[in-house]
A and B are shown apart, each in its own frame.
Chain A
Amino acid sequence: MVTVPSRPVIVALVGILIALAAVPFVGDTYAIKVATRMIVFAIFAMSLDLLLGYTGLVSFGHAAFFGLSAYMLHLYSPEYDAVNLAGALAFCLAVTALAATLIGALVVRTRGIYFIMVTLAFAQMLFYLFHDSPIAGGSDGAYIWVKPALTVGGVMVIDLESRESLFYFALGCLVVCYALIVVVLRSPFGQVIQGIKVNEHRMRALGYDTYRYKLVSFVVSATIAGVAGFLFACIDGFVSPQLLGWRESGIGLVMVILGGMGTLYGSVVGAIAFIGVEEIVRDRNIVGFMSEHWQILMGAFVILVVLLLRNGLTGLLLLIKRRRTANGDGA
């Protein structure tokens, strides 16, 4: 009935959280930046898992909302001043949610392979909107010169200009988004979308207007992707059309599948593993000349995980659990 993370999952998540939180104390600026990217993509992958793993909608255009939110931060920020963090975040998410409502109203009418194609098509339309029009630097992309900050009563509380602040702010967002999705999945609404994933026809026969529930799930998911896009724009202070591209959407899907879809924490694990392994295979000191062909190594890693672990990396947790139970029975 309820969707509560089990004990080993909570332990694993707290472990990941502590490990991440420790990065600024032990790592250099580069390590902080990598860890921030892990967090940002964990949020992105989680938002996609809400659609993919819990509603049964395979979106191949989810980066559209990630990138749109990032672009909104650029457009909303004044050139020489720090924009108000709360206001900017609210603005970016509102625009993202609005776009998701408009696009969702059309795409959610389709299903299966058509849903994949139509989400991709809309994402590419947005991609070319930013790529070919002069509103934000066109194909060259654009800069956010001064990053958002939160000032309360004249005192600077959060300044995302600082790498550490951005990192901890992102970590906070990750925790909030995770908790929010868990709460939503346990609610009556969450029960409905999970029912839709398993047997939509039956849900309609039971009296649910499944279209409305799928649409709301789409908008919620896109808005959370918007949180990730907002944070991403703050890492480098640079946005480019590639953020909305199908490659970015594909990476999101790979992260969710790599971690294990329909588990939520799997997306976090998947995103961290993906970026972690990418860092390793691009490092000349570790893989030597192969670092120039890092995509081959990356591909091999993804293929191995998918072939060997049925439920992605989170399948490892299940394996350990099963082995333990087996041993317990033997003793």
Chain B
Amino acid sequence: MTGPVLAMEGVSKWFGGLYAVRAVSIAFEVGRVDVIIGPNGAGKTTLINLLSGDLLPSAGRIVYRGRDITQLPSHRISRLGIGRSYQITNIFPQFTCTRNVWLAAQSRMKSCMKFFRPAAGYRDVGKRVDRALTLAGLTGRAGELAANISHGEQRQLEIAMLLATEPRVLLLDEPLAGMGPEETENIVALIRQLARDHCIVLIEHDMDAVFAVADHLTVMVNGEVLESGPPEQIRTSATVRQAYLGDELLESGG
């Protein structure tokens, strides 16, 4: 570990007079799974939107590998190696799974202003598509229309698309929501595996999964960071327990 790859420095976002995120400073490292938890409306998704460039911060700085990316538009941030998945499935429903992942993989070509050779002829893109589909466990559904696969499979497709862009940083917004137990297990294993050489920022509600993958936890309440630290610290923290986790954590076998 060589210090943070991605860091938020005093980042705030307000809509009118309403703070969604207030003065948040967090640093994310490669080789670590950072999980952000908090009740609904705590500003978790806004935080991801700020990191991915879908929203511009109202104040503060976001630094990626020593470079200020605060004002960059989302497509530039994506190209720098920060990829995200969406809480609400955001795919191309009338395309096949392969084609969905293809669009993701193709985005890493230097330029797609190529007009004459068929896209299918770009073998290296095809290889990355196959790899991403395999990792996400979707090989068997490759030819299906994305609209026709199950909700859990669409979540897997989101992850396959993200992987196909070969990001250094993965921002995962509730990737497990709607997945069956078996897929959840597979994806948790995949996240652990990816964590070795990626920086992973994860929002998740499933507490079993959270403690299964987390190396570092950040608790958010009302747009602010309440506490940040290793899972054991959060699990035993009195403030966190009081503010949010409460009985839920105890029940999950903590």
Contacts and interface: CB of A to CB of B under 8 A. Distances in A.
Given A1-B98, A192-B103, A195-B103, A209 B75 contact: yes
B116 to A, nearest CB: 6
B75 A207 contact: yes
Interface string B215-245: 0000000000000000000000000000000
Contact of B74 (A198, A205, A212): A205
Contacts of A186: 118-120
A199 B91 contact: yes
Interface in B10-42: none
A29 B98 CA distance: 51
Contacts of A95: none
A199 B119 CA distance: 19
B108 interface: yes
B70 interface: no
Interface residues of B, number: 38
Contacts, number: 95
Given A1-B98, A198-B94, A199-B90, A206 B114 contact: no
B92 A207 contact: no
Interface string B68-82: 000001111011000
Interface string B110-127: 001111111110100000
A204 B74 CA distance: 7
Given A183-B116, A187-B114, A187-B119, A206 B78 contact: yes
A207 B117 CA distance: 21
B132 to A, nearest CB: 12
Contacts of B210: none
A129 interface: no
B118 A187 contact: yes
B90 A190 contact: no
Given A198-B92, A199-B90, A208-B112, A187 B106 contact: no
A324 interface: no
A199 B79 CA distance: 18
Contacts of B74: 204-205
Contacts of B107: 206-208
A202 B112 CA distance: 16
Interface in A186-233: 186-192, 195, 198-199, 201-210, 212-213, 216
Contacts of B93: 198
A2 B102 CA distance: 11
A207 B105 CA distance: 10
A99 interface: no
Nearest to B102: A1
Nearest to B93: A198
Contact of A207 (B86, B108, B122): B108
Contacts of B52: 205
A225 to B, nearest CB: 18
Given A1-B98, A195-B103, A199-B90, A187 B117 contact: yes
B92 to A, nearest CB: 5
B54 interface: yes
Contacts of A21: none
A184 interface: yes
A55 to B, nearest CB: 14
Nearest to B161: A206
A184 B96 CA distance: 20
Nearest to B84: A205
A190 B91 contact: no
B99 interface: yes
A216 B95 CA distance: 23
A195 B165 CA distance: 15
Contact of B90 (A1, A191, A192, A205): A205
B213 interface: no
Contact of A1 (B94, B120, B161): B120
Contact of B104 (A189, A190, A206, A213): A206
Contact of A183 (B86, B104, B115): B115
Given A1-B99, A207-B75, A208-B107, A189 B91 contact: no
Contacts of A202: 90-92
Greatest chain A CB density within 10 A among B54, B92, B103, B114 is at: B103
Interface of B: 52, 54, 73-76, 78-79, 84, 86, 90-96, 98-99, 102-104, 106-109, 112-120, 122, 161, 165
Given A204-B78, A206-B78, 12 more contacts: A183-B116, A184-B116, A188-B112, A201-B90, A203-B103, A204-B73, A205-B54, A206-B103, A207-B107, A208-B75, A209-B75, A212-B113
21 contacts: A1-B96, A1-B120, A183-B116, A183-B118, A184-B116, A186-B120, A187-B116, A187-B119, A188-B122, A189-B114, A190-B119, A191-B99, A191-B102, A191-B106, A198-B95, A204-B74, A205-B52, A205-B84, A206-B75, A206-B78, A209-B75
